[in-house]
Amino acid sequence: MTTTTLQRQQETTFETERAYGARRVLGGIIPYILLTISIIPIVVGYLWVIIATFSIRTRGLLPVDATGNIGGFTLQNWSFLGDAEIWRATLNTFLVAIGMVIGVGFVSTLTGYALSRMNFPGRKAFLGMTLILHAFRPELLLIAIFHVLLFIAGVPLIGRGFGFNTVGGVAVVMISLELPLGIWLMKGFFDNIPWDIERAALIDGASRFRVWWEIIIPQIRPGIAALAIFSFITGWNAYLIPFTFTLGSKVATLPVFLNRFSGDTSLHGWNQVAAIGLFQLIPVLIFFIFTQEALLNIYSGGTKGGT
Amino acid sequence: MKVELIDLTKQWGTVVGADSINLDIEDGEFVAFLGPSGCGKTTTLLMTAGIYKPTRGEIRFDGRIVNHVPPKDRNIGMVFQSYALYPHMSVFQNISYPLKLKRTPMEAMRKQTQRVANLMGIDQLMDRKPAQLSGGQQQRVALGRALVKEPQLLLFDEPLSNLDARLRLSMRSEIKRLQFELEITSIYVTHDQVEAMTMADRIAVMKDGKLQAYAPPDDLYNKPRTLFVAGFVGNPPMNFLNVEIVRENGMYQAHGKGINLVVPAERGEKAVGKGQILMGIRPEDVTIAGDGVSGEIYVVEPLGRDDLIDVKIADVEIHMLVDPTLGVKMGDNVRLKFNTNKVQFFDPETEQSLLWD
């Protein structure tokens, strides 16, 4: 009697497991299918860009030549590399991006530390203001920024490099717009460091500044790296601010330069636009591939340590 | 170095962390700050270290007021509960950091660090990072870092709380031995009264920001001046019973629910005629005897060396320690003998001892 019941029990369990098993396998595949489907448009888009840069024309994803035959491979889309314009634009973009890394990094780490560790009048108000400022869209501020840049242009000495229609001016504006986020992030990272480590360093004999530089900063290196990468990419890809506050091609950045080619008055085709676009993409892509891990840390506020 | 805390107070708005702390520490003395969480012991310690600025009062090192002296100029070393080691530096760099800040030449720095590491028994771990060490090893590195600059005052903030029980025992005696040999004035903050009793020359018991008592361990144990000290020091804790002391037939007697005891004259005369008072008796001062107060055994907890017994007298429970070979069982009716020479009396309102002042 018991054996039959046991057998029946085992059979039912086996069937349930089989049903579960099948569902499990299916359940495992479905996310992959969904993800692949959602990625296809992006992949196809990039694929087109790469193919287009090396063809005279394209039909769908296939390279064709002027008469419509398959196989119009050419390097003429890349001829812009020979002109000085593109390289000047690259330099300008690079200056803006690096300027952002240094500017945002420097100010954010110092401010974040002060907000996290020091008690001063107006601290709470400052903190709240940082959050509000972050919500402001740059589009709202364009006119105001224009006036500010004009004013700076009138200031002796630095006016020439940081006023309207200068790379310096663009960099300063970009930095200012990025600072609220940078400060908030840095404060968060500093908040995660236990107070005891600072106290120990103060007792050991370090000055406040030394504590900040030798003890605390090394703890949040991943956070600083993440902020640096983020700032670099934002600066490199910036379009609205450089476009609004520069005229002509001497001070243009790559996105602005690119825009010039895709307008109605442009003499060049989409293939060349694709080439310039790809050219702009490459440094960031390389940068990102190498620093991807550090960037992920920006949301975990990570510190690793013995305590 | 002699340390004096005079009327030391720390206040944040309406919250008072430490309230008028007055105590002095002799050169080379090991003093413990003992009390429950939030009693102000760490606050007082951090003021002594210079991390917190006192709201009122003075801190003197060898007679010199140091209220405004920054921590780095106070010549102190501190060991934290969390060890507070620098995670990105090796053990060697951690220990030598105070010397590096003093700009000690490399050779002298290396020699001194090596000496301290040998003393701590960690000289084979010099190249490791804190994350690669066990808790006990990290604690030794922290201690080494505190000692390396040969400070005049050593501060401990519950350093053994994060260690397992076994390790805590061995580190306790090591620290005590070390302090004895180095003769550095030390302040040790803890909530564990066993640690305070076993290690300190004098214990400062604190509660709610105020200093309750400041005396050697035996004094606190045998002559507690407040109800709180009596109940806090000693494990298992003291029993308290509601009694009234009367004078009958030339003898002082304690009358309570189910209790009739004769108490010694020198103790009884201080408590007589005060109405209902609290009588304190420690678990080890109650024994099972042929006749005496009657009680029923409620719970038996074997501790190996003793049995901790919960006995009900009328409707009051007291704890007592008995010889495990007696083989008492739950539910047994027993007779209890109180060692009245050790009895304590307290005023239930003021919570002050009636015997000692």
pLDDT per position as a tens digit, B98-152 = 999 988 899 999 999 999 999 888 889 899 999 999 988 999 999 999 999 889 9
- pLDDT reading at A216 higher than 80: yes
The reported pLDDT for the residue numbered A7 is: 63
Mutating which of B12, B46, B72 best tests the A interface, going by the most A Cβ atoms within 10 A? B72
For residue B72 the two structure tokens come to: 């780095």
B304: helix, coil or strand? coil
Superfamily of domain B239-346: Nucleic acid-binding proteins (2.40.50.140)
Locate the chain A residue with the closest alpha carbon to B96.
A204
- pLDDT reading at A6 higher than 70: no
Q: Are residues A53 and A188 in the same domain?
A: no
The last residue of a domain, from among A44, A74, A104 = A74
Q: What is the interface size between A and B, counted as CB pairs within 8 Å?
A: 79
- A307 domain-assigned: no
- pLDDT reading at A300 higher than 60: no
Mutating which of A192, A197, A202, A204 best tests the B interface, going by the most B Cβ atoms within 10 A? A204
Q: Are residues A100 and A69 in the same domain?
A: no
The reported pLDDT for the residue numbered A268 is: 60
Specify the CATH number for the domain of residue A230. Answer: 1.10.3720.10
Q: Of B89, B55, B59, B88, nearest to B71 (Cα)?
A: B59
- pLDDT reading at A59 higher than 80: no
Cα end-to-end distance, chain A, whole Å: 62
pLDDT tens for residues B138-188?
999 999 999 998 899 999 999 998 888 888 888 898 899 989 999 999 999
Once rounded to an integer, what is the mean pLDDT over residues A20-34?
Answer: 78
Q: Are residues A162 and A273 in the same domain?
A: yes
Which residues in chain B touch residue A204, judged by CB atoms under 8 angstroms apart?
72, 97-98, 101, 145, 149
- A305 domain-assigned: no
How large is the ipTM? 0.83
- A152 domain-assigned: yes
Q: How confident is the model at residue A127 (pLDDT cuts 50, 70, 90)?
A: confident
For A27, list phi and psi in degrees, rounded to 5. -65, -30
Cβ-based neighbour number of residue A68 at 10 Å: 9
The reported pLDDT for the residue numbered A265 is: 59
The last residue of a domain, from among A54, A74, A94 = A74
- pLDDT reading at A183 higher than 50: yes
CA distance A29 to A26: 5
Q: How confident is the model at residue A218 (pLDDT cuts 50, 70, 90)?
A: confident
| Closest in A204, A206, A307 to B82, CB measured | A307
Domains of chain B by residue range: 3-232, 239-346
The reported pLDDT for the residue numbered B27 is: 93
Q: How confident is the model at residue A305 (pLDDT cuts 50, 70, 90)?
A: very low
Q: Are residues A70 and A88 in the same domain?
A: no
- A306 domain-assigned: no
Tell me if chain B has a CB within 8 Å of the CB of A219: yes
Separation in Å, CA of B278 to nearest CA in chain A: 43
Separation in Å, CA of A101 to nearest CA in chain B: 24
B337: helix, coil or strand? strand
Q: Are residues A175 and A287 in the same domain?
A: yes
Q: Are residues A162 and A247 in the same domain?
A: yes
* Interface contact B78-A203, CB threshold 8 A: yes
CA distance B109 to A294: 36
Alpha-carbon B229 to chain mean position: 10
| Closest in A194, A205, A305 to B98, CB measured | A205
* Interface contact A203-B102, CB threshold 8 A: no
Please answer whether residues B244 and B273 qualify as being in contact, where contact means their C-beta atoms are separated by less than 8 angstroms: no
Which residues in chain B touch residue A307, judged by CB atoms under 8 angstroms apart?
82-85, 87, 130
Q: Are residues A117 and A225 in the same domain?
A: yes
CA distance B88 to A303: 10
Within chain B, which residues score under 50 in pLDDT? none
| Closest in A194, A202, A219 to B88, CB measured | A219
* Interface contact A203-B131, CB threshold 8 A: no
The reported pLDDT for the residue numbered A252 is: 85
Which residues in chain B touch residue A194, judged by CB atoms under 8 angstroms apart?
82, 84
Please answer whether residues A247 and A196 qualify as being in contact, where contact means their C-beta atoms are separated by less than 8 angstroms: no
The last residue of a domain, from among A74, A90, A119 = A74
Restricting to B residues 232-271, those with a Cβ less than 8 Å away from any Cβ of A are: none
The reported pLDDT for the residue numbered A86 is: 82
Find the domain containing A202 and state its range.
79-299
Superfamily of domain B3-232: P-loop containing nucleotide triphosphate hydrolases (3.40.50.300)
| Closest in A203, A218, A306 to B85, CB measured | A306
Q: Are residues A140 and A279 in the same domain?
A: yes
Q: How confident is the model at residue A294 (pLDDT cuts 50, 70, 90)?
A: low
Q: Are residues A30 and A87 in the same domain?
A: no
The tally of domains found in chain A comes to 2
The reported pLDDT for the residue numbered A301 is: 45
- A47 domain-assigned: yes
Q: Are residues A208 and A166 in the same domain?
A: yes
